[in-house]
Structure 1
Amino acid sequence: MKEPKLIEAIGVDKQFGDTKVLRNCSLAVDVGETVVLIGPSGSGKSTFLRCLNLLEPPTGGDVFFEGRNITSDLRHADRIRRDIGMVFQNFELFQHLTAAENIMLAPMRVLGLCTADAHDLALDLLKKVHIPERSDHYPDELSGGQQQRVAIARALAMRPKMMLYDEPTSALDPEMIREVLDVMAELSADGMTSICVTHEMGFARRAADRIIFMEDGAIIENANAADFFGGLVNERTQRFLDQILH
Protein backbone atom coordinates (compact mmCIF):
# COMPACT_ATOMS: atom_id res chain seq x y z
CA MET A 1 0.00 0.00 0.00
CA LYS A 2 1.25 3.46 -0.88
CA GLU A 3 2.35 5.52 2.12
CA PRO A 4 0.22 8.64 2.70
CA LYS A 5 1.80 12.05 2.45
CA LEU A 6 2.80 13.49 5.79
CA ILE A 7 0.48 16.42 5.11
CA GLU A 8 -1.86 17.02 2.20
CA ALA A 9 -4.18 19.94 1.51
CA ILE A 10 -6.91 19.33 -1.04
CA GLY A 11 -8.90 22.23 -2.48
CA VAL A 12 -8.44 24.47 0.56
CA ASP A 13 -10.44 27.71 0.56
CA LYS A 14 -10.40 30.43 3.21
CA GLN A 15 -12.79 33.32 3.42
CA PHE A 16 -12.93 36.22 5.91
CA GLY A 17 -16.36 37.78 5.57
CA ASP A 18 -16.79 38.58 1.90
CA THR A 19 -13.06 38.40 1.21
CA LYS A 20 -11.78 35.16 -0.29
CA VAL A 21 -8.16 34.76 0.80
CA LEU A 22 -7.46 31.23 -0.45
CA ARG A 23 -8.84 29.62 -3.60
CA ASN A 24 -8.71 25.88 -4.16
CA CYS A 25 -5.18 25.39 -2.80
CA SER A 26 -3.77 21.86 -2.94
CA LEU A 27 -0.36 20.71 -1.74
CA ALA A 28 1.09 17.34 -0.72
CA VAL A 29 4.34 17.05 1.25
CA ASP A 30 6.37 13.89 1.83
CA VAL A 31 8.20 12.99 5.03
CA GLY A 32 11.57 14.73 5.06
CA GLU A 33 10.69 17.21 2.32
CA THR A 34 11.36 20.95 2.57
CA VAL A 35 8.91 23.20 0.72
CA VAL A 36 9.26 26.97 0.38
CA LEU A 37 6.23 29.19 -0.26
CA ILE A 38 6.87 32.47 -2.05
CA GLY A 39 4.71 35.16 -3.61
CA PRO A 40 3.81 38.85 -3.34
CA SER A 41 2.41 40.32 -0.14
CA GLY A 42 -1.24 39.49 0.32
CA SER A 43 -1.08 36.36 -1.84
CA GLY A 44 -2.32 34.11 0.99
CA LYS A 45 0.95 32.37 1.92
CA SER A 46 0.71 32.87 5.68
CA THR A 47 -3.00 32.09 5.75
CA PHE A 48 -2.40 28.85 3.88
CA LEU A 49 0.35 27.92 6.34
CA ARG A 50 -1.98 28.59 9.28
CA CYS A 51 -4.69 26.45 7.69
CA LEU A 52 -2.31 23.49 7.65
CA ASN A 53 -2.18 23.31 11.45
CA LEU A 54 -5.74 24.61 11.91
CA LEU A 55 -4.79 27.94 13.47
CA GLU A 56 -7.13 29.13 10.72
CA PRO A 57 -9.76 26.45 10.02
CA PRO A 58 -10.33 26.25 6.25
CA THR A 59 -13.65 27.49 4.91
CA GLY A 60 -13.63 24.70 2.35
CA GLY A 61 -11.52 21.75 1.33
CA ASP A 62 -9.66 19.28 3.52
CA VAL A 63 -6.28 18.85 5.20
CA PHE A 64 -4.92 15.35 5.84
CA PHE A 65 -2.11 14.65 8.29
CA GLU A 66 -0.58 11.18 8.15
CA GLY A 67 -3.57 10.12 6.08
CA ARG A 68 -6.18 11.34 8.57
CA ASN A 69 -8.58 14.18 7.76
CA ILE A 70 -7.82 16.73 10.48
CA THR A 71 -10.41 19.21 9.25
CA SER A 72 -13.29 16.80 9.89
CA ASP A 73 -13.23 17.35 13.66
CA LEU A 74 -11.62 20.57 14.90
CA ARG A 75 -11.91 19.43 18.53
CA HIS A 76 -8.58 17.67 18.00
CA ALA A 77 -6.78 20.79 16.72
CA ASP A 78 -4.62 21.15 19.85
CA ARG A 79 -3.41 17.57 19.51
CA ILE A 80 -2.51 18.14 15.86
CA ARG A 81 -0.47 21.23 16.77
CA ARG A 82 1.73 19.13 19.03
CA ASP A 83 2.91 17.28 15.93
CA ILE A 84 3.26 20.41 13.78
CA GLY A 85 5.66 22.97 15.22
CA MET A 86 5.28 26.57 14.14
CA VAL A 87 7.66 29.53 14.21
CA PHE A 88 6.21 33.01 13.68
CA GLN A 89 7.56 36.32 12.39
CA ASN A 90 7.70 37.72 15.90
CA PHE A 91 9.35 35.52 18.46
CA GLU A 92 6.43 35.31 20.92
CA LEU A 93 8.73 34.51 23.85
CA PHE A 94 7.65 35.04 27.44
CA GLN A 95 9.68 38.02 28.60
CA HIS A 96 9.72 36.97 32.27
CA LEU A 97 11.22 33.55 31.48
CA THR A 98 14.79 32.68 30.53
CA ALA A 99 15.60 31.02 27.22
CA ALA A 100 15.64 27.60 28.90
CA GLU A 101 12.41 28.27 30.78
CA ASN A 102 10.64 29.32 27.57
CA ILE A 103 11.61 25.97 26.05
CA MET A 104 10.73 23.96 29.18
CA LEU A 105 7.21 25.30 29.63
CA ALA A 106 5.24 23.28 27.06
CA PRO A 107 7.03 19.95 27.61
CA MET A 108 6.26 20.21 31.33
CA ARG A 109 2.65 21.32 30.96
CA VAL A 110 1.64 19.30 27.90
CA LEU A 111 3.98 16.31 27.78
CA GLY A 112 4.28 15.90 31.54
CA LEU A 113 8.08 16.10 31.73
CA CYS A 114 9.57 16.72 35.15
CA THR A 115 11.63 19.87 35.70
CA ALA A 116 14.99 18.07 35.46
CA ASP A 117 14.12 16.28 32.22
CA ALA A 118 12.65 19.43 30.69
CA HIS A 119 15.76 21.38 31.62
CA ASP A 120 18.02 18.74 30.04
CA LEU A 121 15.87 18.84 26.90
CA ALA A 122 16.09 22.66 26.78
CA LEU A 123 19.89 22.56 27.05
CA ASP A 124 20.12 19.94 24.31
CA LEU A 125 17.94 22.03 22.02
CA LEU A 126 19.87 25.22 22.75
CA LYS A 127 22.98 23.34 21.66
CA LYS A 128 21.15 22.31 18.49
CA VAL A 129 20.43 25.96 17.66
CA HIS A 130 23.98 26.96 18.67
CA ILE A 131 23.32 29.13 21.73
CA PRO A 132 23.78 26.85 24.78
CA GLU A 133 25.56 29.69 26.60
CA ARG A 134 22.34 31.76 26.52
CA SER A 135 20.21 29.34 28.53
CA ASP A 136 19.91 31.65 31.55
CA HIS A 137 19.40 34.85 29.57
CA TYR A 138 16.04 36.61 29.30
CA PRO A 139 14.66 37.60 25.88
CA ASP A 140 15.61 41.27 26.27
CA GLU A 141 19.21 40.13 26.80
CA LEU A 142 19.22 38.27 23.46
CA SER A 143 19.62 39.53 19.91
CA GLY A 144 16.72 39.10 17.52
CA GLY A 145 18.44 36.17 15.85
CA GLN A 146 19.05 34.50 19.19
CA GLN A 147 15.42 35.02 20.21
CA GLN A 148 14.22 33.41 16.99
CA ARG A 149 16.53 30.47 17.57
CA VAL A 150 15.05 30.06 21.06
CA ALA A 151 11.61 30.10 19.40
CA ILE A 152 12.73 27.32 17.03
CA ALA A 153 14.07 25.31 19.97
CA ARG A 154 10.79 25.83 21.81
CA ALA A 155 8.85 24.42 18.84
CA LEU A 156 11.23 21.46 18.64
CA ALA A 157 10.71 20.72 22.34
CA MET A 158 7.30 19.25 21.53
CA ARG A 159 9.02 16.70 19.28
CA PRO A 160 7.02 17.69 16.18
CA LYS A 161 6.86 15.60 13.03
CA MET A 162 7.09 18.71 10.88
CA MET A 163 7.87 22.42 11.16
CA LEU A 164 6.07 25.44 9.72
CA TYR A 165 7.91 28.76 9.43
CA ASP A 166 6.00 31.98 8.78
CA GLU A 167 8.56 34.49 7.47
CA PRO A 168 10.86 33.69 10.40
CA THR A 169 13.52 36.25 9.43
CA SER A 170 11.31 39.19 8.43
CA ALA A 171 11.69 40.92 11.82
CA LEU A 172 15.48 40.51 11.93
CA ASP A 173 18.32 42.83 11.06
CA PRO A 174 20.20 41.63 7.95
CA GLU A 175 23.24 40.39 9.89
CA MET A 176 21.03 38.13 12.04
CA ILE A 177 19.15 36.48 9.19
CA ARG A 178 21.90 34.03 8.26
CA GLU A 179 22.20 32.51 11.73
CA VAL A 180 18.48 31.63 11.77
CA LEU A 181 18.47 30.30 8.20
CA ASP A 182 21.52 28.16 9.00
CA VAL A 183 19.62 26.45 11.83
CA MET A 184 16.58 25.88 9.60
CA ALA A 185 18.75 24.44 6.83
CA GLU A 186 20.47 22.12 9.31
CA LEU A 187 17.09 20.84 10.54
CA SER A 188 16.03 20.19 6.94
CA ALA A 189 19.29 18.38 6.23
CA ASP A 190 18.64 16.22 9.30
CA GLY A 191 15.31 15.15 7.80
CA MET A 192 12.80 17.48 9.45
CA THR A 193 9.79 17.97 7.18
CA SER A 194 9.41 21.72 6.73
CA ILE A 195 7.21 24.28 5.01
CA CYS A 196 8.55 27.83 5.04
CA VAL A 197 7.08 31.14 3.91
CA THR A 198 10.07 33.30 3.02
CA HIS A 199 11.58 35.62 0.43
CA GLU A 200 15.10 34.40 1.25
CA MET A 201 16.01 32.80 -2.05
CA GLY A 202 19.45 31.81 -0.78
CA PHE A 203 17.76 29.56 1.76
CA ALA A 204 15.43 28.21 -0.91
CA ARG A 205 18.38 27.33 -3.16
CA ARG A 206 20.21 25.69 -0.28
CA ALA A 207 17.46 23.75 1.48
CA ALA A 208 14.26 23.51 -0.57
CA ASP A 209 13.15 20.42 -2.43
CA ARG A 210 10.20 22.29 -3.94
CA ILE A 211 9.11 25.90 -4.42
CA ILE A 212 5.46 26.96 -4.41
CA PHE A 213 4.51 30.33 -5.91
CA MET A 214 1.21 31.86 -4.79
CA GLU A 215 -0.71 34.84 -6.10
CA ASP A 216 -4.23 36.12 -5.33
CA GLY A 217 -4.88 33.24 -2.94
CA ALA A 218 -4.04 30.51 -5.44
CA ILE A 219 -1.07 28.23 -6.08
CA ILE A 220 0.10 28.98 -9.61
CA GLU A 221 3.47 27.21 -9.55
CA ASN A 222 4.59 23.97 -7.88
CA ALA A 223 8.09 23.11 -9.09
CA ASN A 224 11.06 21.15 -7.85
CA ALA A 225 13.94 23.41 -6.85
CA ALA A 226 16.16 22.48 -9.80
CA ASP A 227 13.48 23.36 -12.34
CA PHE A 228 12.50 26.49 -10.45
CA PHE A 229 15.97 27.97 -10.34
CA GLY A 230 16.71 26.63 -13.79
CA GLY A 231 14.05 28.89 -15.26
CA LEU A 232 11.50 26.17 -15.99
CA VAL A 233 8.62 28.21 -14.56
CA ASN A 234 5.69 30.10 -15.97
CA GLU A 235 5.98 33.73 -17.07
CA ARG A 236 4.32 35.24 -13.98
CA THR A 237 6.60 33.32 -11.62
CA GLN A 238 9.65 34.39 -13.62
CA ARG A 239 8.64 38.07 -13.38
CA PHE A 240 8.37 37.76 -9.60
CA LEU A 241 11.75 36.02 -9.43
CA ASP A 242 13.35 38.73 -11.55
CA GLN A 243 12.06 41.36 -9.11
CA ILE A 244 13.38 39.72 -5.96
CA LEU A 245 16.69 38.42 -7.36
CA HIS A 246 17.83 41.67 -8.98
Structure 2
Amino acid sequence: MSAEEKILELVDVYKTFDDLTVLKGCNLRVKKKETVVLIGPSGSGKSTLLRCINLLEPPSKGSVVFEGHEVSGDLRGADKLRRDIGMVFQNFELFQHLSAVENIMLAPMKVLGMSKADAHDLGLELLRKVHIPERADHFPDELSGGQQQRVAIARALAMRPKIMLYDEPTSALDPEMIREVLDVMTELSNEGMTTVCVTHEMGFARRAADRIVFMEDGCILEDAATEEFFGGRANERAQKFLSQILH
Protein backbone atom coordinates (compact mmCIF):
# COMPACT_ATOMS: atom_id res chain seq x y z
CA MET A 1 0.00 0.00 0.00
CA SER A 2 1.58 3.28 -1.12
CA ALA A 3 1.68 6.42 1.00
CA GLU A 4 -0.63 8.08 -1.52
CA GLU A 5 -3.28 5.38 -1.09
CA LYS A 6 -3.13 5.14 2.69
CA ILE A 7 -5.31 7.55 4.67
CA LEU A 8 -5.25 5.91 8.11
CA GLU A 9 -2.85 3.71 10.03
CA LEU A 10 -2.91 2.35 13.57
CA VAL A 11 0.52 1.23 14.73
CA ASP A 12 0.90 -1.13 17.71
CA VAL A 13 -2.08 0.41 19.50
CA TYR A 14 -2.78 -0.57 23.11
CA LYS A 15 -5.64 0.70 25.27
CA THR A 16 -5.79 0.09 28.99
CA PHE A 17 -8.56 1.02 31.42
CA ASP A 18 -7.21 0.74 34.98
CA ASP A 19 -5.97 -2.87 35.13
CA LEU A 20 -7.83 -4.04 32.02
CA THR A 21 -6.01 -4.07 28.69
CA VAL A 22 -8.69 -3.86 25.99
CA LEU A 23 -6.43 -3.47 22.94
CA LYS A 24 -3.19 -5.39 22.66
CA GLY A 25 -0.89 -4.13 19.94
CA CYS A 26 -3.36 -3.61 17.09
CA ASN A 27 -2.12 -2.67 13.63
CA LEU A 28 -4.50 -1.52 10.90
CA ARG A 29 -4.14 0.28 7.59
CA VAL A 30 -7.00 1.78 5.60
CA LYS A 31 -6.77 3.03 2.02
CA LYS A 32 -8.68 5.96 0.59
CA LYS A 33 -12.14 4.92 -0.64
CA GLU A 34 -11.82 1.55 1.10
CA THR A 35 -14.51 -0.02 3.29
CA VAL A 36 -13.22 -2.07 6.22
CA VAL A 37 -15.61 -4.02 8.46
CA LEU A 38 -14.56 -5.01 11.99
CA ILE A 39 -16.20 -8.15 13.33
CA GLY A 40 -15.71 -10.40 16.33
CA PRO A 41 -17.36 -11.52 19.56
CA SER A 42 -18.67 -9.00 22.09
CA GLY A 43 -15.90 -7.60 24.26
CA SER A 44 -13.20 -8.19 21.66
CA GLY A 45 -12.22 -4.49 21.50
CA LYS A 46 -13.86 -3.50 18.21
CA SER A 47 -15.64 -0.38 19.46
CA THR A 48 -12.62 0.70 21.48
CA LEU A 49 -10.43 0.39 18.39
CA LEU A 50 -12.91 2.52 16.46
CA ARG A 51 -12.94 5.17 19.19
CA CYS A 52 -9.15 5.28 19.19
CA ILE A 53 -9.19 6.29 15.52
CA ASN A 54 -10.78 9.68 16.24
CA LEU A 55 -9.24 9.91 19.73
CA LEU A 56 -12.47 9.61 21.67
CA GLU A 57 -10.30 7.07 23.48
CA PRO A 58 -6.64 8.12 23.18
CA PRO A 59 -4.36 5.08 22.83
CA SER A 60 -2.41 4.16 25.96
CA LYS A 61 0.47 3.18 23.70
CA GLY A 62 1.08 3.22 19.97
CA SER A 63 0.23 5.66 17.22
CA VAL A 64 -2.69 6.82 15.11
CA VAL A 65 -1.52 8.22 11.77
CA PHE A 66 -4.01 10.16 9.64
CA GLU A 67 -3.08 11.43 6.18
CA GLY A 68 0.58 10.85 6.98
CA HIS A 69 0.58 12.74 10.28
CA GLU A 70 0.80 11.16 13.72
CA VAL A 71 -2.23 12.57 15.53
CA SER A 72 -2.36 10.65 18.79
CA GLY A 73 0.62 12.38 20.39
CA ASP A 74 -1.11 15.74 20.85
CA LEU A 75 -4.77 15.67 21.81
CA ARG A 76 -5.12 19.42 21.23
CA GLY A 77 -5.79 18.57 17.59
CA ALA A 78 -8.56 16.09 18.39
CA ASP A 79 -11.42 18.48 17.57
CA LYS A 80 -9.97 19.21 14.13
CA LEU A 81 -9.43 15.50 13.55
CA ARG A 82 -13.08 14.77 14.32
CA ARG A 83 -14.17 17.19 11.61
CA ASP A 84 -12.39 14.96 9.11
CA ILE A 85 -13.53 11.68 10.71
CA GLY A 86 -17.30 11.41 11.06
CA MET A 87 -18.76 8.93 13.54
CA VAL A 88 -22.17 7.32 13.89
CA PHE A 89 -22.97 5.57 17.18
CA GLN A 90 -25.28 2.75 18.23
CA ASN A 91 -27.70 5.25 19.71
CA PHE A 92 -28.66 8.16 17.54
CA GLU A 93 -27.55 10.96 19.91
CA LEU A 94 -29.88 13.50 18.26
CA PHE A 95 -30.93 16.70 19.99
CA GLN A 96 -34.56 16.08 20.89
CA HIS A 97 -35.52 19.77 20.80
CA LEU A 98 -34.26 20.22 17.23
CA SER A 99 -35.88 19.06 14.01
CA ALA A 100 -34.09 16.67 11.67
CA VAL A 101 -32.73 19.45 9.49
CA GLU A 102 -31.76 21.55 12.51
CA ASN A 103 -29.76 18.64 13.93
CA ILE A 104 -27.80 18.57 10.67
CA MET A 105 -27.39 22.36 10.50
CA LEU A 106 -25.92 22.78 13.95
CA ALA A 107 -22.29 21.73 13.44
CA PRO A 108 -21.76 23.48 10.08
CA MET A 109 -23.02 26.71 11.64
CA LYS A 110 -21.18 26.43 14.96
CA VAL A 111 -17.94 24.85 13.78
CA LEU A 112 -17.57 25.90 10.15
CA GLY A 113 -19.24 29.30 10.43
CA MET A 114 -21.75 28.50 7.71
CA SER A 115 -24.73 30.82 7.35
CA LYS A 116 -28.12 29.58 8.49
CA ALA A 117 -29.46 29.63 4.92
CA ASP A 118 -26.51 27.67 3.54
CA ALA A 119 -26.65 25.20 6.43
CA HIS A 120 -30.37 24.70 5.80
CA ASP A 121 -29.73 24.03 2.11
CA LEU A 122 -27.00 21.56 3.06
CA GLY A 123 -29.30 19.85 5.56
CA LEU A 124 -32.00 19.37 2.93
CA GLU A 125 -29.43 18.08 0.43
CA LEU A 126 -28.17 15.51 2.92
CA LEU A 127 -31.69 14.42 3.92
CA ARG A 128 -32.31 13.76 0.24
CA LYS A 129 -29.10 11.74 0.17
CA VAL A 130 -30.33 9.51 3.02
CA HIS A 131 -33.80 9.33 1.41
CA ILE A 132 -35.91 11.18 3.98
CA PRO A 133 -36.25 14.78 2.71
CA GLU A 134 -39.92 14.76 3.73
CA ARG A 135 -38.85 14.39 7.39
CA ALA A 136 -36.86 17.65 7.49
CA ASP A 137 -39.16 19.41 9.95
CA HIS A 138 -39.94 16.38 12.10
CA PHE A 139 -38.47 16.05 15.58
CA PRO A 140 -36.63 12.88 16.67
CA ASP A 141 -39.59 11.51 18.63
CA GLU A 142 -41.65 11.74 15.43
CA LEU A 143 -39.17 9.58 13.51
CA SER A 144 -38.65 5.83 13.42
CA GLY A 145 -35.37 4.43 14.68
CA GLY A 146 -34.17 3.89 11.14
CA GLN A 147 -35.03 7.46 10.20
CA GLN A 148 -33.25 8.80 13.28
CA GLN A 149 -30.11 6.86 12.41
CA ARG A 150 -30.21 8.20 8.86
CA VAL A 151 -30.44 11.74 10.28
CA ALA A 152 -27.39 10.89 12.39
CA ILE A 153 -25.55 9.76 9.26
CA ALA A 154 -26.55 12.97 7.45
CA ARG A 155 -25.36 15.01 10.44
CA ALA A 156 -21.94 13.33 10.29
CA LEU A 157 -21.77 13.93 6.52
CA ALA A 158 -22.47 17.64 7.05
CA MET A 159 -18.85 18.18 8.12
CA ARG A 160 -17.63 16.73 4.79
CA PRO A 161 -15.58 14.02 6.51
CA LYS A 162 -12.80 12.10 4.81
CA ILE A 163 -13.64 8.92 6.73
CA MET A 164 -16.88 7.62 8.22
CA LEU A 165 -16.81 5.43 11.33
CA TYR A 166 -19.86 3.36 12.30
CA ASP A 167 -20.12 1.71 15.71
CA GLU A 168 -22.77 -1.00 15.35
CA PRO A 169 -25.17 1.51 13.77
CA THR A 170 -28.07 -0.94 13.45
CA SER A 171 -27.86 -2.68 16.83
CA ALA A 172 -30.58 -0.51 18.39
CA LEU A 173 -32.99 -0.94 15.46
CA ASP A 174 -35.92 -3.24 14.86
CA PRO A 175 -35.17 -5.77 12.08
CA GLU A 176 -37.34 -4.06 9.47
CA MET A 177 -35.43 -0.79 9.91
CA ILE A 178 -31.96 -2.27 9.61
CA ARG A 179 -32.00 -2.59 5.82
CA GLU A 180 -32.84 1.08 5.19
CA VAL A 181 -29.80 2.18 7.20
CA LEU A 182 -27.47 -0.41 5.66
CA ASP A 183 -28.63 0.61 2.17
CA VAL A 184 -27.57 4.21 2.83
CA MET A 185 -24.22 3.05 4.21
CA THR A 186 -23.69 0.83 1.15
CA GLU A 187 -24.50 3.71 -1.21
CA LEU A 188 -21.95 5.94 0.54
CA SER A 189 -19.35 3.19 0.38
CA ASN A 190 -20.03 2.62 -3.32
CA GLU A 191 -19.61 6.36 -3.92
CA GLY A 192 -16.08 6.14 -2.49
CA MET A 193 -16.52 7.21 1.13
CA THR A 194 -13.69 5.70 3.16
CA THR A 195 -15.44 3.63 5.82
CA VAL A 196 -14.57 1.66 8.96
CA CYS A 197 -17.57 -0.12 10.44
CA VAL A 198 -18.16 -2.33 13.47
CA THR A 199 -21.15 -4.55 12.75
CA HIS A 200 -22.67 -8.00 13.12
CA GLU A 201 -24.52 -7.60 9.81
CA MET A 202 -22.71 -10.11 7.62
CA GLY A 203 -24.87 -9.32 4.59
CA PHE A 204 -23.59 -5.74 4.67
CA ALA A 205 -20.04 -6.98 5.18
CA ARG A 206 -20.26 -9.24 2.14
CA ARG A 207 -21.90 -6.56 0.01
CA ALA A 208 -19.96 -3.44 0.92
CA ALA A 209 -16.63 -4.35 2.50
CA ASP A 210 -13.30 -4.51 0.71
CA ARG A 211 -11.69 -6.09 3.76
CA ILE A 212 -12.82 -7.90 6.90
CA VAL A 213 -10.89 -7.52 10.15
CA PHE A 214 -11.63 -10.15 12.80
CA MET A 215 -10.86 -9.32 16.43
CA GLU A 216 -10.83 -11.34 19.61
CA ASP A 217 -9.54 -10.56 23.10
CA GLY A 218 -8.14 -7.18 22.06
CA CYS A 219 -6.13 -8.55 19.14
CA ILE A 220 -6.57 -8.50 15.37
CA LEU A 221 -6.47 -12.18 14.42
CA GLU A 222 -7.39 -11.85 10.75
CA ASP A 223 -7.27 -9.09 8.14
CA ALA A 224 -8.33 -10.38 4.76
CA ALA A 225 -10.06 -9.42 1.54
CA THR A 226 -13.81 -10.01 1.79
CA GLU A 227 -13.94 -12.78 -0.78
CA GLU A 228 -11.09 -14.61 0.96
CA PHE A 229 -12.62 -14.20 4.40
CA PHE A 230 -16.03 -15.53 3.39
CA GLY A 231 -14.54 -18.04 0.96
CA GLY A 232 -13.28 -20.34 3.69
CA ARG A 233 -9.72 -19.01 3.77
CA ALA A 234 -10.00 -17.20 7.11
CA ASN A 235 -8.16 -18.66 10.08
CA GLU A 236 -9.81 -21.37 12.16
CA ARG A 237 -11.03 -19.08 14.94
CA ALA A 238 -12.58 -16.63 12.47
CA GLN A 239 -14.29 -19.47 10.60
CA LYS A 240 -15.76 -20.77 13.86
CA PHE A 241 -17.12 -17.31 14.64
CA LEU A 242 -18.63 -17.08 11.16
CA SER A 243 -20.29 -20.47 11.46
CA GLN A 244 -21.93 -19.38 14.72
CA ILE A 245 -23.14 -16.02 13.45
CA LEU A 246 -24.38 -17.25 10.06
CA HIS A 247 -26.41 -20.20 11.37
1:38-87 deviations in whole A, cap 9, x for unaligned?
Answer: 00000000000000000000000000000000012111000000000000
Is there any run of 5+ residues in structure 2 with no aligned partner, and where? Answer: none
| 2:109 aligned partner, one-letter code | M
In 1, Cα distance between equivalents of 2:187 and 2:229 = 22
- Report the counterpart of residue 77 of structure 1 in structure 2: 78
Alignment length (residue pairs): 246
Q: Verify the 8 A CA contact 1:36 1:211 in the aligned structure 2.
A: yes
Root-mean-square deviation over aligned CA pairs: 0.7
Deviation at 1:216, TM superposition (A): 0.2
- Report the counterpart of residue 22 of structure 1 in structure 2: 23
Calculate the TM-score normalised by the size of structure 1: 0.99
- Report the counterpart of residue 52 of structure 1 in structure 2: 53
- Report the counterpart of residue 121 of structure 2 in structure 1: 120
1:156-189 deviations in whole A, cap 9, x for unaligned?
Answer: 0000001000000000000000000000000000
Q: Verify the 8 A CA contact 1:4 1:66 in the aligned structure 2.
A: no
- Report the counterpart of residue 145 of structure 2 in structure 1: 144
In 2, Cα distance between equivalents of 1:233 and 1:175 = 30
- Report the counterpart of residue 109 of structure 2 in structure 1: 108
In 1, Cα distance between equivalents of 2:234 and 2:32 = 25
Q: Matched residue of 1:140: which SS?
A: helix
Deviation at 1:2, TM superposition (A): 4.0
- Report the counterpart of residue 232 of structure 1 in structure 2: 233
Q: Matched residue of 2:232: which SS?
A: coil
Q: Matched residue of 1:72: which SS?
A: coil
- Report the counterpart of residue 7 of structure 2 in structure 1: 6
Q: Matched residue of 2:16: which SS?
A: strand
In 2, Cα distance between equivalents of 1:119 and 1:152 = 16
Task: Kindly report structure 1 stretches of 4+ aligned residues shifted beyond 4 Å.
Answer: none
1:128-172 deviations in whole A, cap 9, x for unaligned?
Answer: 000000000000000000000000000000000010000000000
Q: Matched residue of 2:57: which SS?
A: coil
Give the alignment of 1:155-234 within 5 angstroms.
155-234=156-235
1:90-131 deviations in whole A, cap 9, x for unaligned?
Answer: 000000000000000000000000000000000000000000
| 2:120 aligned partner, one-letter code | H
What is the percent sequence identity of the aligned residues? 74
Q: Verify the 8 A CA contact 2:5 2:32 in the aligned structure 1.
A: no
**Is it true that 1:93 corresponds to 2:78 in the alignment?**
no
Calculate the TM-score normalised by the size of structure 2: 0.99
In 2, Cα distance between equivalents of 1:170 and 1:233 = 25
In 2, Cα distance between equivalents of 1:72 and 1:42 = 26
Q: Verify the 8 A CA contact 1:4 1:67 in the aligned structure 2.
A: no
In 1, Cα distance between equivalents of 2:214 and 2:207 = 17
Deviation at 1:4, TM superposition (A): 5.6
In 1, Cα distance between equivalents of 2:67 and 2:190 = 21
Q: Matched residue of 1:61: which SS?
A: strand
